[in-house]
Amino acid sequence: MADTTASTTSRTVPSHEDRPVYVIGGGPGGLAAAYALRARGVRAVVLEKSDQVGASWRNHYDRLHLHTTRRLSALPGLSMPRSFGRWVARDNVVRYLEKYAEHHGLEIVTGVEVSRIEPAPGGDGWLLHATGGRELTGSAVVVATGFNHTPRIPDWSGRDGYTGTLLHAGEYRNPAPYAGRDVLVVGVGNTGAEIAVDLVEGGASRVRLSVRTAPHIVRRSTAGWAAQFTGIAVRRLPVRLVDALAGPMAKLSVPDLSAQGLPRPSTGLYSRVNEGAIPVQDVGIIDAVRKGKVEVVAAVEGFEDDKAVLADGSRIDPDVVIAATGYSRALEGMVGHLDVLDGRGRPVVHGGRSPRNAPGLYFTGFTNPISGMFRELALDAEKIAKTISHHTPSPTPR
Ligand SMILES: Cc1cc2nc3c(=O)[nH]c(=O)nc-3n(C[C@H](O)[C@H](O)[C@H](O)COP(=O)(O)OP(=O)(O)OC[C@H]3O[C@@H](n4cnc5c(N)ncnc54)[C@H](O)[C@@H]3O)c2cc1C
């Protein structure tokens, strides 16, 4: 069925006849893949559920900057302007993504959410079920729906009965609504750490940061050397070696915050990355914790009598709880039936490889690399385009 209702920035709307490659998601990963395919003469159509490209970046909090460098965050075929500076602000990331789509004249259909992918009847290509009963058949499919897809708040006991303000970090924009208020931020990934600092600077009366496992903290840049450079340099080294090197480096560059509740982690830096926890890049958290402006408290276990119950048995009574507790990939509904996900709900392969039982189905953006996600998205885009342009196999019906 041709899509006639969804808005589009492009000239044509996909039809059954020409079987393009469908790219699901108009974030940096999807846009890069679409460009790389087009550059190799393969027609690619991006299906984006929201009404504009870069939806995730439009919704991130105001003060966010890329912590990867401008040059190493550019997507294939278009550099980011120098005027964006070394650490690109969120608004400029959005501008760049808009410009990227326009500059390359990408075919993008917005307002279309893909709910399920299955082998096309006859085994030739993939059938996509999308918003409004649409059925679209592509010769291949690139899934680029984002690592940070669906906000996840732990199923804390007593959560439903809690009457205080509880929100996910994905809903946080800036500190203005929290000025003069007592806020508990739960989770010390990059997002939780930066929101805590933002709240301090924005005038919250008290900011506590709930930490289950102390994170590795690294300086974003030391004497001009970006942490990302190190991430790229060590990426292919043995995990134990990187763990061994990272310990002394951390001691040199990051003060001991044990007295403030953030001891140095017992598990090595790269081992933690492999468990899914990338290091926290310091954009003010070290100073804020050292000066007591952000108070570290134990992990939240649940809620009782409108108080947060912490793992050390204490109970605290903040005005607001912000759960910086991550996201899920939420790929189960779309591809769970194809047996292409691992136990954590992540695709079993990514980049230029398709799962063995699902040839022609590609995934990008579902790893959390130490070298920077934009950079990996750019590399994956080229690999996917190269494979597809050489060979677009047919899926085996299951
Ligand atoms: C706060 C934060 C800061 C980050 N900072 C950096 C950084 O500094 N450097 C770096 O390299 N990486 C960073 N990342 C990681 C990563 O680069 C970004 O998350 C990036 O946006 C991922 O791009 P993506 O295209 O894979 O996913 P997204 O940008 O999330 O795009 C996915 C798109 O798919 C759409 N979509 C989802 N489901 C469907 C569906 N079913 N049908 C159709 N469309 C759908 C969404 O609307 C969205 O537009 C950061 C992530 C976060 C959360």
CA–CA dist 246, 223 (Å, integer): 17
Q: Is 285 in the pocket of ligand 1 (CB under 6 A)?
A: no
Please identify, by atom number, the ligand 1 atom nearest to the C-alpha of residue 65.
Answer: 8
For residue 8, what is the DSSP state? B
Residue whose CA lies nearest to ligand 1 atom number 15: 373
Q: Are 20 and 138 in contact (CB under 8 A)?
A: yes
CA trace torsion 109, 113, 116, 118 (10° rounding)? 0
Q: How far is CA 84 from CA 66, 192, 222, 369, in A?
A: 11, 25, 20, 24
Separation of CA 106 and ligand 1 centre (Å):
18
Whole-number percent of the chain with pLDDT over 70 = 94
Going by their DSSP bridges, the two strands 280-282 and 294-297 should be labelled as unpaired
Q: Whose CA is closest to 250, among 210, 291, 279, 278?
A: 279
Q: What is the model's pLDDT at position 274?
A: 87
Confirm or reject: Cβ of 326 under 6 Å from ligand 1: no
With a 6 Å cutoff on the Cβ, whether 170 touches ligand 1 is: no
Q: Which atom, in ligand 1's list, is nearest to the CA of 55?
A: 49
Torsional class of 305: left (φ above 0), alpha (ψ -120 to 50), beta (otherwise): left
Atom of ligand 1 at shortest range from CA of 130:
42
CA–CA separation, 350 and 362 (whole Å):
6
CA distance 209 to 298: 8
Please compute the mean of the pLDDT values over residues 364-389 and round it to a whole number.
96
User: Using CA of residue 330, residue 52, residue 174, residue 280, what is the dihedral sign?
Assistant: positive
Task: Tell me the two tokens of residue 123.
Answer: 């085994």
What average pLDDT does the chain have? 93
- 174 CA to centre of ligand 1 in angstroms: 20
Centroid of ligand 1 to alpha carbon of 371 (angstroms):
16
Catalogue all structural domains in the chain, each as residue range(s) with its CATH number. Answer: 5-149+329-389 (3.50.50.60), 151-323 (3.50.50.60)
Considering only 34-43, 84-93, 248-257, 380-389, which range has the smallest mean pLDDT? Answer: 248-257
Q: Residue 122 — pLDDT band, cuts 50, 70, 90? A: confident
Q: Is the pLDDT confidence value at 292 over 80?
A: yes
Ligand 1 pocket, residue 373 CB under 6 Å = yes
Q: What is the pLDDT of residue 213?
A: 94
Please give the number of the atom of ligand 1 that sits closest to the Cα of 115: 41
Q: Whose CA is nearest to atom 22 of ligand 1?
A: 146
> Which ligand 1 atom is the nearest neighbour of the CA of 373?
11
Mean pLDDT over 54-74 rounds to: 97
Counting from 1 in the atom list of ligand 1, the atom nearest the Cα of 112 is 43
pLDDT in tens, 153-207: 999 999 999 999 999 999 999 999 999 999 999 999 999 999 999 999 999 999 9
Q: Where are the alpha helices (DSSP H) in 50-189?
A: 55-59, 90-103
Residue to substitute in 374, 375, 379, 384 for testing ligand 1 pocket (most ligand atoms within 8 angstroms of CB): 374
Is pLDDT above 80 for 293?
yes
Shortest-distance Cα residue to atom 12 of ligand 1: 373
Joined together, the tokens standing for residue 212 give: 């289950």
pLDDT at 337: 98
Per-residue model confidence (pLDDT) at position 18? 67
Task: Categorize the per-residue pLDDT at 287 as very low, low, confident or very high, splitting at 50, 70 and 90.
Answer: very high
